[in-house]
Every structure is written in structure tokens, then in C-alpha cells.
Amino acid sequence: MVPKNKTILLIEDDEAIREMYQLKFTHEGIVIHTAEDGVEALKVALRIKPDILLLDIKIPTIGGEDVLEKLQKKSWAKQMKVIVLTNINEKEAPKKFQRLHYDRYIVKAHSTPAKVVQAVKEVIDESN
């Protein structure tokens, strides 16, 4: 169970996928914030200071790796858990990801919303 005090931000440019995950998390009783591009993601993240970031790599305006790099420079983000949620194979991810911290890497095409919710729960459990 995800504690009610955990703040989650999903950064996903595909509206249908974003809505699907929002529905799944809401159905599980989990509040999730969303952003559709890098600029919006930074604005929302700086406002809500998420505990968990679900991050797509290929997003408009500012790429996912640059969003993550900017956020990880913030002191409050030191404890933020990051789950990369993308259709890019981990071996094909931008080189910048090799020096950035993330807790899980999930390829959307190889997963289901239920598995993503489970991954979020596991990442939270691991941090407690």
C-alpha cells in the first residue's frame, strides 16, 4: 500500500497513456500528479516536490534526462525515488542516464499499469 502522504509525479507526453496510468493509480487510491512535457514537469515538480517520479525519456520541450538532471540538483530531491517509464531500451537510453540516479527502469511495452503500480509500491517499501 502506498502511504497517503507520498506525492507522485508522472511525466508522460502521450495523453492516452497518461490518462491510463492516472486512472490505474486513482483506482488504487493513490493520488498522482501529471505533466505532459519537460517544462511543465519542472514547474509541477518544483511546486509539489514529489517523493516519486515516473519519468518518460522522450518528452517535448526538455528531455527526460535533462528534467531529471535539473531536479537532482535540488536538495529536496535527494530522497526522491525515480522510476524511468519509457519505451526506450535501457541500453539505448541517452548516455546522460549513466551518471544520473534512478531506482527502476521499466519499458512500457513490456509492462502493464498494474506492474508499474507494484513497482512504485516496492520502491516505497525499499526506502522505508
Q: What per-residue confidence (pLDDT) applies to 16?
A: 96
CATH number of domain containing 104: 3.40.50.2300
Residue 3 lies in a domain: no
Q: What per-residue confidence (pLDDT) applies to 82?
A: 97
Q: What per-residue confidence (pLDDT) applies to 76?
A: 94
Residue 46 lies in a domain: yes
DSSP-derived secondary structure letter, 4: T
Residue 110 lies in a domain: yes
Q: What per-residue confidence (pLDDT) applies to 1?
A: 62
Q: What per-residue confidence (pLDDT) applies to 3?
A: 62
Q: Determine the residue type at 122.
A: E
- Tell me how many domains the chain contains: 1
Residue 107 lies in a domain: yes
Q: Determine the residue type at 68.
A: L
Segment-wise mean pLDDT, segments of 10 residues, the chain, 128 residues: 80 96 90 96 97 96 96 94 95 85 94 94 84
Residue 2 lies in a domain: no
Residue 115 lies in a domain: yes
| Cβ–Cβ under 8 Å, residues 54 and 72 | no
Instruction: Tell me which residue range forms the domain holding 89.
Output: 8-123
Residue 1 lies in a domain: no
Residue 14 lies in a domain: yes
The residues facing 100 across adjacent strands are none
Q: What per-residue confidence (pLDDT) applies to 4?
A: 64
